[in-house]
Amino acid sequence: MRRLLGAAALSAAIAAWSGPCLAAYEGSVDLFGGVKSLNADWEPADTQNQYGVELAFAPERSRVWFALDVLASSGTADSVDPANGPTHVHGSTVEYTIGVRKVWTRHIVRPQFGAGGAVVTAHLEKTSNMVSLDRKNNGVGLWVEAGCTFRIVEHFHLGIDARYSKADVDLGQDFDTLHVNAGGTQLGIVIGYDW
């Protein structure tokens, strides 16, 4: 959560700085809120709440924008493991992404498409009467995105964003190997400021 708040503060500072320093640039900064669905390796915490910040900018009239995003997700659930009994599971990920984003800016309705690379931090905790597992690691992968925003007033917009990311992370310990995909399908709402 501290990383996400730091990213939000950084994005707000960039947005404030964008007036005088990016006068010859256009772009947007968006707050993202939604849900991330991971694969079965994360059950029962495979559906997680996700929040983040998306930043994109480029020189005026550029066909594509440079994109920097930070998205954090987390989920907690309880299950009954046949071998270990009642089990408490907590999973979380943080995606640091870089890439390009094409935004059609000439109308009130603005479709967008993006893609690039990602560094994903994954954290998985499982606790029961028999076992306690706490693993964290990083992985490198890819992301793609499609969305659409609607201008609500001058410089402000609201929209939807669908993303997919894939990054294999090893959450094993010592000689054990536990490869999981820390990416997933993400769907959310964005609200943002453009200049």
What pTM did the predictor assign? 0.83
Identify the residue with better confidence: 13 or 182: 182
pLDDT computed for residue 175 by the predictor: 47
Q: Is the pLDDT of residue 28 over 90?
A: yes
Structural element, H or E, at residue 132: strand 132-153
CA pair distance 92, 122, nearest whole angstrom: 6
Q: Is the pLDDT of residue 105 over 80?
A: no
Domain boundaries, the chain: 2-194
CATH architecture of 2-194: Beta Barrel (2.40)
pLDDT computed for residue 17 by the predictor: 53
CA pair distance 104, 7, nearest whole angstrom: 26
H helix runs in the chain, sequence order: 2-21
Query: By percentage, how much of the chain surpasses pLDDT 70?
Result: 86
pLDDT computed for residue 87 by the predictor: 86
CA pair distance 55, 67, nearest whole angstrom: 6
Tell me the per-residue pLDDT of 79-98, one tens digit each, with 9 for 90 and over. Answer: 887 777 788 999 999 999 99
The two tokens of residue 119 are 């560094």
Tell me the per-residue pLDDT of 36-49, one tens digit each, with 9 for 90 and over. Answer: 999 988 889 999 99
Whose tokens are 């994005």? That residue is 11
Identify the residue with better confidence: 47 or 155: 47
Average pLDDT score, the chain? 87
For residue 47, the cross-strand partners are 37
Q: Is the pLDDT of residue 137 over 90?
A: yes
Q: Is the pLDDT of residue 2 over 70?
A: no
Q: How long a stretch of residues is the chain?
A: 195
